[in-house]
Structure 1
Amino acid sequence: MKSMSVRWAKPVAVLAAIGIVASCSLPKVGPNKREIFAGSVQKEGDAFIVAVNDRVTRATAVVPALGFSSGFQNASTLTSDTIRPGDVLGLTVWENVDDGLLAGEATNSTILEEVQVDSAGFIFVPYAGRIRASGNTPEQLREMITAKLEDQTPDPQVQVRRLAGDGSTVSLVGAVGAQGIYPIERPTRTLGTMLAQAGGVTIQPDIAQVTVIRGNQQGQIWFQDLFDNPQLDIALRGGDRILVEEDTRSFTALGATNAQARVPFETQDLSALEAIAQVGGLISIASDPTGVFIFRNEPAEVAGQVLGRDDLQGAQRMVYVLNLTQPNGLFVARDFVIRDEDTLYVTEAPYAQWTKTISLISGGLTPLANLQTIAGS
C-alpha cells in the first residue's frame, strides 16, 4: 500500500504543479479569444465583434479611389502651335521697298530673333507696337503683325517661328528617374508621356501614387491605373507640379505571427490573406488559425451595413474574426480587404500555453524549485 502511494506521488505532484502554473499568469503575446470576446458590445464592452463571411467581405470592401476631377479631365491637350507666356519667338519681316521701316539699305528683310512673350502674353514689334501673342497660333500672330505694318510699309511679308519656350514647363519631383523641369513639347503633352520622359517611376508601380498640382487644384492617381487605362491620362498645363511618391498606407501586425511590426502595403488592394503572408504567415506551433482578428475604426455607414443597423453615429470600433479552419475560411480571408491603420492580431493556440506550462515544470530546476519560483512571482 505504501509502495502505491510512493508510485503515484510524483504524477500527482506534477499534476498539482500544472494546476498551479495554469492558474498563474503565464507570459503571452496578448489577449486570447475569450478575453477579446469579453470586450464585445453584447457583453457590455465597447467593440462590435463580427465573424467574417461573404456578406461582411462585400460590405467592407472599401478601397481608396484615386482619380482626377472633371477640371483635369476636361482640359484639352495643348497644341504645339499655341503661343503661351514665356515662349520665345523668331520674327522675319520683308518689305517691298529698298529702304523700309525696319530693313537697311542693303537688304529688304529684318530678322528679330528671340522675342520673348512676357508674363501678360504680349510681345513688342517695332512700328507695330505691343501685340498680344499668347493664345494665338504663329499664323494668327503673323496676320496681326502684318495688319499693323501694312499701313506703314507697302506689302509687308511676315514670318513667325515658335522657338523653345520656358513658360510651357512642368516640374517633376519624387520617385522618378530624373527629377527636374521639363518643357511641354509635342511628344510630352500628357501626364503619362511626361512621366516617361522623366525616366518613369523608380518605385514599385503597384504602390506609386502620382499627384498633379495645378494652381489651387490637386488631383491624384495610381501610376498603375494611369498605365493600364490610357483614358485616365490628362493634358498638362504650364506650371503643373508633378509628385510621384510611395503609398503611405500601413497596417500593424501583432500576436502569434512571424513578425510584429508596422507593415506598409505592397499592393493597392491588400487582403487579409496577403497581409498574413506579408508578415511571414502564422506560426505552426503557436498561432490559433481560428483566432485571426482585424481591429478597425469603421465609418458609421459601413458599420451599419455590416451590423444591419441605421442608428449608428460616428466611427465604430469593430473587431472582425477570421476562422481559417472553416471550409470557406481561406476564401473569406482572401476576399476581406485590409485598410489603412488596421491592426491584424493573431491569438495563441491553447497548445502554446500548455507547452509553456510543461516547459516551466520540466525545466532545469526541480519541480519543487519551479513551484517556489512560480509562487513567488
Structure 2
Amino acid sequence: MKFVVLTLSVGVAGCASLPNSGPTRKQIERSVLESNAEVPIRLVEIKTGADIPLTSSNTMKPALIDLPPPPTDMIGPGDVLDINIYEAGVTLFSNAGGATGSGGQAGQLVASSGVQVQKLPPSRVDDNGDIMIPYAGRLHVVGQTISEVEAIIRSSLRRLSQNPQVLVTLNQAITNSVIVSGEVVKPGRLVLQTNRETLSDVIALAGGYRGTAKDLTLRIVRRNENVDIRVNDLIETPALDVRAYPGDRLMLINNPRTFAVLGASGRVDQVPFGQSSVSLAEAISGVGGTNPNLGDPAAIFLFRYVRDEQGNEVPVAYHINMMRAGSYFLAQKLAMQNKDVLYFGNAGANQPSKMLQLVSQLFSPILTVTAGVQTVQNGK
C-alpha cells in the first residue's frame, strides 16, 4: 500500500509539468500584447466578413509595366545583318569580289550595262552598335530599324557609287528576343515575331511548362528588376499577363506552395497546397482538425507576414473561434497563402484529463495484479 501511495504522489506531483502541444489561447494573446515594440504583432479577430484579409486575386496588381512594343526590326548589339548593294551604270561593287572589270583594279569605278548586286559577308553589330561597310567605313546602326539602316548605308555610298540601292535583312535576331529557361519543354532563345507576345504566349512558344501549374513560379528579369509571378495567378488574372519585352529573361521555377501545421492538431506537418487555392476551412479539415484530447477549437490561429502601406512586412496573427457557427462560413472565405503557419491552440482544461490518464496508467498494473490474485484465491 505504501508503494501505491508513493507512486500516486509522484504521479500527481508530475502533473504540473505534463507535456503540452503548445500554448493556449490566453497564453498566445498575452504574448502578443507583451511582444517587443520593435517587432509588434497584430492580433486580428475573425468575427465578421470585414475581418477577412483580401485574397491575392483581389489585391494583385500588374507586377510589371506593360511597356509599348518596340519595332520588330530594331537593330541592337549582336544582331547579324545580310546586306545586298545594287548598282546600275557606274559601279563601285561587282560580283567578282572587288574586281571591277577586265584588267581593272579594285576600287575603280567601272561603267557596266544592267544592274549588278554585291552581297556583303554577314555583318555583326558590335558592342558599340557599329558595322563596317567597304568604302563607307564604320556606321553606327544601334537603335535603328532595318529601313533606317538601309538609308544610312545608301547615304554613305552616294558619293562613291551612282545611285546605289541597299537591301538589308536580319540574319540573326539577338536584340528582339527573350531567354526562356527552367521548367519549359524547349528552353533557349526565342525571337519575338510581333513584340506583342504576352508572358503566357512566350511559355506556350517554348513548348509549354513541365509539371503542375500550381507549383510553378515564373521569374522575370527585366532591366535589373526581378519579379516573381505564380503561373496560376498568371492564368487567372489577365492583368498580370503583360507583354514580354525584348531582352527579358524568363525562368520557370518549380516552387510548390506549403503551409505549416503546429500545435494540438491531428497532424503536425508541412502541407503542400492540394490545388491552386486553399481556404482555411479546407486546411483545417485536411490536417484532421483539432485533436479532441489536446486542442481547443476556439483557439485556432493563422500566422503570416503582411505588407503594410509602406511595403514593410508586419507579423499578423488571425484568430478564429470554431466554436461559433458563423466561423465555419468565414473560414471558407479566408484563403491560405504560401508559408502560412496554422496553429491549433492547446486546451487549458486538458490538464485534468492528462492527470486522469496518468493515474489510470499508474493503477492499471496494480488493478491487473489484484484481479489475478483474487482469481487465484477464488480458485482455491
Q: 1:133 to 1:56 in 2, by over 3 A?
A: same
Distance 1:50 1:338 in 2: 15
For residue 95 of structure 1, give the secondary structure of its aligned residue in structure 2.
Answer: strand
1:82 aligns with 2:74: yes
Match of 2:299 in 1: 291
Q: 1:282 to 1:25 in 2, by over 3 A?
A: same
Distance 1:283 1:197 in 2: 50
Q: 1:188 to 1:172 in 2, by over 3 A?
A: farther
Match of 1:272 in 2: 280
Structure 2 contact 84–168 (Cα < 8 Å) conserved: yes
- Residue 102 of structure 1: which of 93, 110, 113 is its match? 93
- Residue 48 of structure 2: which of 44, 49, 54 is its match? 54
Distance 1:165 1:316 in 2: 46
Match of 1:329 in 2: 327
Which letter does structure 2 place at the counterpart of 1:92? N
After superposition, residues 212-231 of structure 1 pair within 5 angstroms as 212-231=220-239
Distance 1:247 1:197 in 2: 22
- Report the Cα offset of residue 285 of structure 1: 5.5
Which letter does structure 2 place at the counterpart of 1:57? D
Structure 2 contact 266–288 (Cα < 8 Å) conserved: yes
Distance 1:296 1:225 in 2: 20
Which letter does structure 1 place at the counterpart of 2:54? A
Q: How many matched pairs?
A: 338
For residue 331 of structure 1, give the secondary structure of its aligned residue in structure 2.
Answer: helix
1:68 aligns with 2:60: no
- Report the Cα offset of residue 157 of structure 1: 2.6
Distance 1:316 1:109 in 2: 70
Structure 1 contact 214–240 (Cα < 8 Å) conserved: yes
1:155 aligns with 2:163: yes
Percent identical pairs in the alignment equals 27
Match of 1:4 in 2: none
Instruction: Say what the alpha-carbon RMSD is for the aligned residues.
Output: 4.2
Which letter does structure 2 place at the counterpart of 1:53? K
- Residue 171 of structure 1: which of 167, 179, 183 is its match? 179
For residue 76 of structure 2, give the secondary structure of its aligned residue in structure 1.
Answer: coil
Match of 1:10 in 2: none
Match of 1:310 in 2: none
Distance 2:303 2:236 in 1: 33
- Report the Cα offset of residue 168 of structure 1: 3.6
> Gaps spanning 5+ residues in structure 1: where?
1-12, 303-313, 370-377
1:346 aligns with 2:344: yes
Which letter does structure 2 place at the counterpart of 1:216? N
- 1:121-146 deviation per Cα after TM superposition (whole angstroms, max 9, x unaligned): 22222123322333333223223322
Which letter does structure 2 place at the counterpart of 1:169? S
Which letter does structure 2 place at the counterpart of 1:201? Y
- Report the Cα offset of residue 67 of structure 1: 3.1
Q: 1:154 to 1:347 in 2, by over 3 A?
A: closer
Q: 1:33 to 1:223 in 2, by over 3 A?
A: closer
Match of 1:117 in 2: 125
- 1:151-176 deviation per Cα after TM superposition (whole angstroms, max 9, x unaligned): 22223232222222234433233333
For residue 88 of structure 2, give the secondary structure of its aligned residue in structure 1.
Answer: coil
After superposition, residues 186-205 of structure 1 pair within 5 angstroms as 186=194, 189-205=197-213
- Report the Cα offset of residue 319 of structure 1: 4.5
Match of 2:378 in 1: none
Q: 1:56 to 1:248 in 2, by over 3 A?
A: farther
Match of 1:374 in 2: none
Structure 1 contact 77–190 (Cα < 8 Å) conserved: no
- Report the Cα offset of residue 353 of structure 1: 5.4
Which letter does structure 1 place at the counterpart of 2:163? D
Distance 1:49 1:122 in 2: 62
For residue 200 of structure 1, give the secondary structure of its aligned residue in structure 2.
Answer: coil
Distance 1:257 1:345 in 2: 8
Structure 1 contact 33–291 (Cα < 8 Å) conserved: yes
Which letter does structure 2 place at the counterpart of 1:344? L
Distance 1:145 1:315 in 2: 56
- Report the Cα offset of residue 208 of structure 1: 3.1
Q: 1:368 to 1:347 in 2, by over 3 A?
A: farther
- TM-score calculated relative to the size of structure 1: 0.71
Match of 1:7 in 2: none
For residue 83 of structure 2, give the secondary structure of its aligned residue in structure 1.
Answer: strand
> Gaps spanning 5+ residues in structure 2: where?
35-39, 103-114, 370-380
